[in-house]
């Protein structure tokens, strides 16, 4: 019979063999604790890269002045064009996609009521002028009599006051005429600037009010267009108004060069980028608002203050 000592020795040998085989298998050290390092041994490059450093490295790479940036075209200004007065919409002269000039008539309101108001105001002005002429003649007559002291002073003062009131009446009637004529002119609704009609908001036969305002069309200025470019924050000290940019529109296969006109030094926390704007001449109307653009900053030269770090391995400075 095998002794107790012999059985214990065999069991211990089998256990050691099992542990040795397990240690040799791939991934066997995944549950092991941190490895000890010899003094003076530099840590591995992987142990130094954190999420924040990786994000910073990506931002530095994007901050290359020659890197490809993105932008979007936008209308220089847009407007919901409304009428200055109230009335029935008789004609809306434009449709979506039409281009209009500044001052061009785009809609016409019923002007019959305004025409009657003009006639009434003209009649009131004529009556005021007649009244003024009558009082002026009476003042002249009484002043001649006053030289001979043939008229009481109070009577002369009274007629002079009447003359002054008649003159004020003429001024008031003149203002009424101008207001009536303006109302008549407001029946023609004109484009405030040259642009593209993007939407019709009313139709013929609808009543147009001013309180609340009732817009007739949407108008967008498209010559020139604005180009909004998102620029990495690391380029903030380099980019300035006047820098040249090369712009390419993949959708239409067009490329052009222009210059930055405005820099907005406000970095968005979510994107770590700020916005700059450039003008895009569009006389031929080949460009449209909302186009995606690829942009290269031609004028943003690197500076020593924000240059990209050397791509040396960690710990190389100590060597």
50-89: pLDDT as tens digits: 544 445 544 554 456 567 899 999 999 999 999 998 999 9
d(CA 227, CA 69): 12
List the Cα angle 24/28/32 in 5-degree steps. 125
Q: Which fold has domain 61-77+223-301?
A: Elongation Factor Tu (Ef-tu); domain 3 (2.40.30)
CATH 2.40.30.170 residue spans of the chain: 61-77+223-301
174 pLDDT above the threshold of 50 = yes
CATH 2.40.50.100 residue spans of the chain: 78-109+187-217
Instruction: Calculate mean pLDDT across residues 160-182.
Output: 95
127 pLDDT above the threshold of 90 = yes
Q: How many CB atoms lie within 10 A of CB 153?
A: 10
Superfamily per CATH, domain 112-185: Helix hairpin bin (1.10.287.470)
Of 11-25, 39-53, 97-111, 116-130, minimum mean pLDDT range: 39-53
308, 64 Cβ separation under 8 angstroms? yes
**Of 141, 168, 167, 166, which Cα lies nearest the Cα of 155?**
141
CATH 1.10.287.470 residue spans of the chain: 112-185
Instruction: Calculate mean pLDDT across residues 277-291.
Output: 94
Mean pLDDT of the chain: 81
pLDDT at 185: 92
Share above pLDDT 90 across residues of the chain, in percent, rounded to a whole number: 63
pLDDT at 14: 57
CATH code: domain 78-109+187-217 is 2.40.50.100
pTM for the full predicted model: 0.64
pLDDT at 149: 76
278 preceded by a cis bond (ω within 30 of 0):
no
Q: Over the stretch 191-230, which tens digit does the pLDDT of each residue have?
A: 999 999 999 999 999 999 988 889 999 999 999 999 999 9
pLDDT at 307: 39
């Amino acid at each position: 019979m095998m002794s107790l000592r012999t059985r214990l020795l065999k069991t211990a040998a089998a256990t050691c063999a099992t542990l040795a085989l397990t240690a040799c298998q791939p991934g066997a050290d995944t549950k092991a604790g941190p490895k000890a390092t010899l003094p003076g041994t530099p840590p591995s490059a992987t142990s130094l890269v954190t999420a924040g450093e990786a994000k910073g490295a990506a931002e530095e790479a994007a901050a290359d002045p020659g890197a490809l940036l993105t932008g979007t075209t936008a209308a220089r200004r847009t407007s919901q064009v409304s009428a200055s007065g109230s009335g029935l919409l008789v004609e809306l002269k434009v449709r979506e996609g039409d281009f209009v000039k500044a001052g061009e008539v785009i809609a016409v309101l019923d002007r019959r009521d305004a025409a009657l108001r003009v006639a009434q105001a003209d009649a009131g002005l004529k009556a005021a002028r007649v009244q003024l002429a009558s009082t002026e003649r009476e003042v002249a007559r009484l002043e001649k009599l006053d030289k001979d002291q043939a008229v009481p002073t109070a009577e002369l003062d009274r007629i002079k006051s009447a003359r002054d009131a008649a003159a004020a009446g003429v001024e008031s009637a003149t203002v009424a005429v101008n207001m009536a004529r303006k109302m008549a002119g407001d029946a023609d609704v004109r484009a405030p600037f040259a642009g593209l009609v993007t939407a019709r908001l009313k139709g013929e036969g609808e009543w147009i009010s001013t309180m609340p305002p009732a817009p007739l069309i949407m108008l967008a200025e498209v010559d020139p267009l604005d180009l909004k470019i998102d620029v990495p924050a690391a380029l903030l000290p380099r980019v300035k108004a006047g820098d040249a940019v090369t712009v390419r529109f993949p959708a239409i296969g067009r490329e052009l060069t222009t210059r930055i006109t405005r820099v907005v030094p406000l970095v968005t926390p979510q994107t770590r980028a700020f916005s700059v704007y450039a003008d895009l001449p569009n006389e031929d109307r080949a460009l449209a608002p909302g186009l995606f653009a690829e942009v290269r900053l031609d004028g943003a030269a690197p500076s020593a203050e924000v240059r990209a770090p050397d791509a040396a391995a960690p710990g190389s400075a100590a060597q």
